[in-house]
Amino acid sequence: MKAFAQLFTSLDETNKTNEKVKVLKNYFNCVPDTDKMHMLALFSGRKPKRQINSTQFRTWAIEASNIPAWLFEESYHVVGDLAETVALLLPDHGNSSNKTLTEWIGEINALNNMPEVEKHDWLTRSWAMLDAQERFVFNKILTGSFRVGVSQNLVIKALADVAELDAATITHRMMGNWMPETYLYEELVHTDTALEDVSRPYPFFLAYPVQETSEKQKSPEAMQTLLGNADEWQAEWKWDGIRAQLIKREGEIFIWSRGEDLATDKFPELHALLHHLPDGTVLDGEILSFQNGQPLSFAVLQTRIGRKTLSKKILEDSPVALIAYDCLEYDGEDIRYKTQTERRQLLEGLQATTPYPEVFNISSLITFKSWDELAEIREQSRAMIAEGIMLKRKDAHYQVGRRRGDWWKWKIDPLSIDAVMIYAQKGHGRRADLYTDYTFAVWDGDKLVPFAKAYSGLTDTEINKVDSFVKRNTLEKFGPVRTVKPELVFEIGFEGINKSTRHKSGVALRFPRILRWRHDKPKEEADTIETLKALLGE
């Protein structure tokens, strides 16, 4: 655990990519292989099962730190991170632990089914054995909120260097459903065992936005400059559902979401079509709610995401189907090296012979001759329930991760509305103790109705200004939330809008974010609820 806590500290102490890779390599070189696998699991979001729930964790931390519960909560609001709060509040006993990461996680897993009193004793004992930094990392593992300031790509790059393998291979072998207890480091880095797991998905190829960071649209001329001739590109609608990889190998089927969650059970409608595919087939596509052959908005799909059990009613109200984009494995062969056009032909062949065409759709190609023409077609995106257009170079291979060059997403402008900030709440992590989470409202007569929360879109400098405004213009405090004097106006962008019975305003927005601070607008000139609802009509 010492080495792991030190890794965490060292990663925090530098903002330079090269330094971070160096720190990671150091770590890999000095810990046992089982620790490496546990570290990889944690850094790629495979956390151990939660054995101590949040209430127990808080209660026992309050007890061990010997402060009143309200003071614990106030401390938490300032720190913005539960694991860190507890690490700071507990008394320091001047100890430090020699147990390895593997041993600690072993102990955590052994808590399963233990009586509460034993969990309590174990936790209190463990806290006393650790120094503050170790306690912080330990709490992170325990509470499952494991986010580090380092991307999985960097971890893989460091590991690839240490293991003398290429990063794409490691990325692929890190995919899927493995547990650090059973997946050995030798298996991960040993060449022959790469494809043994029949469930293992390929790393997703992800597109970059054509607009890059700016919200400004690209003209057809700019598209020509960026991408070259239109005839080198294939265009499809950019569907707004759940990106997924569907696998049929050795008679078994697997559906993976892009977040590397195994979601086979969540989409029973797709099982038959998968079973009918030949063994050794892997498809890339989007899962959407469909009705009468028409895709529905993401809001409909959302009603069934995250449910543990799918009731009959949900399956009836929000049935799903697949829109296939690509074929990655054909007849047991990894065909990611083939061109977009070649893969597309194989995909069309598979789709043409399916007895389940109502759930096995193929993403239709858009016919266009020039960027001008495509720009015009793109205007119909909202009517198509699409987010815009996907562009794929006809001779592109299927690559690993988010790459510039061969796949681009050309999204439509977000919808936008000018709104007044009325509530603010402190953020977390890097934004802890700063008011960064805002609630926005529009006018309904002379009242302001809240309709959206947004966290992102402002620069650090702007955040500091808003933070200072919030602190000086607080009207009321409700726990962590402050009601602020309605004064600041922001342009809020969003991808979609739907009716909602759960929200006071009667609407729910998709991906709301701050586009800009409207210093030029007094609050009286912010938009009204009527303007907002008019956007529903489309």
Q: Does 10 bind other proteins (CB under 8 A)?
A: no
Stretch binding other proteins (CB under 8 A), from 9-17, 269-277, 300-308, 497-505:
9-17
| Position 85 contacts other proteins (CB under 8 A) | yes
How far apart CA 452 and CA 416 sit, in angstroms, is 12
Question: Residues 363, 323: contact at Cβ < 8 Å?
Answer: yes
Q: Which residue(s) pair with 322 in the sheet?
A: 287, 360
Nearest approach in angstroms of CB 129 to other proteins is 19
Q: Show the beta-strand stretches assigned E in 152-251.
A: 205-206, 208-209, 233-239, 242-249
Cα 347 from chain centroid (whole Å): 28
**Per-position b or e across 86-98, b if 16+ CB within 10 A of its CB:** bbbbbeeeeeebe
- And the tokens for 80? 């913005």
**7 lies in the site for other proteins, by CB under 8 A:** no
- Pick one of 467, 491, 495, 527: the residue that binds other proteins (CB under 8 A): 467
Q: How many whole angstroms separate alpha carbon 165 and alpha carbon 54?
A: 40
SS3 state of residue 399: coil
Applying the rule CB under 8 A, the residues between 409 and 428 that interact with other proteins are: 428
437 binds other proteins, rule: CB under 8 A: no
Of these, 474, 498, 500, 505, which contacts other proteins (CB under 8 A)? 474
Q: Any contact of residue 473 with other proteins (CB under 8 A)?
A: yes
Residues 489, 494, 499, CA angle at the centre, nearest 5°? 105
- 468 contacts other proteins (rule: CB under 8 A): yes
430 belongs to the binding site for other proteins (CB under 8 A):
yes
Pick 32 or 149: Cβ nearer other proteins: 149
**Could you tell me which stretch among 170-178, 192-200, 345-353, 472-480 binds other proteins (CB under 8 A)?**
472-480
Q: Is 431 in the site for other proteins (CB under 8 A)?
A: yes
| Contact pick of 170, 288, 386, 434 for other proteins (by CB under 8 A) | 434
Q: Does 478 bind other proteins (CB under 8 A)?
A: no
Q: Which stretch binds other proteins (CB under 8 A): 61-69, 118-126, 258-266, 500-508?
A: 61-69
Q: Which of 400, 388, 287 is nearest to 334 (CA)?
A: 400
Query: What minimum distance in Å lies between the beta carbon of 1 and other proteins?
Result: 18
Q: In angstroms, rounded to a whole number, what is the distance separating the alpha carbons of residues 105 and 181? A: 10
| Stretch of residues binding other proteins (CB under 8 A), selected from 76-84, 189-197, 300-308, 409-417 | 76-84
Residue position matching structure tokens 């060449």? 191
CA distance 86 to 453: 28
Q: Which residue has the tokens 């880095």?
A: 189
Dihedrals phi, psi of 393, to nearest 5 degrees: -65, 135
Q: Which residues pair with 208 in a beta bridge?
A: 408
Find the part of the chain contacting other proteins (CB under 8 A) among 28-36, 65-73, 111-119, 165-173.
Answer: 65-73
d(CA 169, CA 525): 55
CB of 44 to other proteins, least distance (A): 22
Q: Does 67 bind other proteins (CB under 8 A)?
A: yes
CB atoms within 10 A of CB 405: 10
Q: Residue 518 corresponds to which tokens in the numbers above?
A: 């409207």
284 is a site residue for other proteins (CB under 8 A): no
> Rule CB under 8 A: is residue 489 a binding residue for other proteins?
no
CA distance 72 to 61: 9
Q: Under DSSP, is residue 225 helix (H, G, I), strand (E, B) or coil?
A: helix
- Nearest distance in Å: CB 76, other proteins: 9
User: 29 vs 464, which CB is nearer to other proteins?
Assistant: 464
Site for other proteins in 347-386 (CB under 8 A): none
Which residue from 40, 79, 175, 514 is in contact with other proteins, where contact means CB under 8 A? 79
**Residue 11 touching other proteins (CB under 8 A):** no
Determine contact, residues 44/152, Cβ cutoff 8 Å. yes
Return the range that interacts with other proteins (CB under 8 A); candidates 80-88, 300-308, 392-400, 513-521. Answer: 80-88
CA distances from residue 532 to 261, 398, 414, 500, 537 in whole angstroms, order as listed: 35, 40, 13, 13, 10
92 to 151, contacts with other proteins by CB under 8 A?
A: 92, 149
As measured in angstroms, the least distance from the Cβ of 16 to other proteins is: 9
Nearest Cα residue to 449 out of 417, 422, 480? 422
The candidate with the shortest Cα–Cα distance to 400, out of 284, 291, 293, is 284
Least separation in angstroms between CB 525 and other proteins: 23
Runs of H (alpha helix) within 458-511: 460-472
Q: Which of 6, 26, 56, 74 binds other proteins (CB under 8 A)?
A: 74
Residue 35 contacts other proteins per CB under 8 A: no
Q: Which is nearer to other proteins, 430 or 504 (CB)?
A: 430
Q: Which of 29, 54, 464, 531 binds other proteins (CB under 8 A)?
A: 464
Q: By CB under 8 A, which span of 45-53, 62-70, 408-416, 524-532 interacts with other proteins?
A: 62-70
Binds other proteins (CB under 8 A): choice among 3, 21, 88, 310: 88
Site string for other proteins, 221-250 (x = CB under 8 A): ------------------------------
Is 432 a binder of other proteins (CB under 8 A)? yes
Distance, in Å, from the CA atom of 525 to the CA atom of 390, rounded to the nearest integer, reads 37
Q: Which stretch binds other proteins (CB under 8 A): 78-86, 305-313, 363-371, 387-395?
A: 78-86
| Short-list 270, 282, 272, CA closest to 198 | 282
Query: Is the distance from CB of 109 to CB of 49 less than 8 angstroms?
Result: yes
Classified as helix, coil or strand, 335 is coil
Interface contacts to other proteins, rule CB under 8 A: 12-15, 65, 67-68, 70-71, 74-75, 78-81, 84-85, 88-89, 92, 149, 428-434, 460-461, 464, 467-468, 471-474
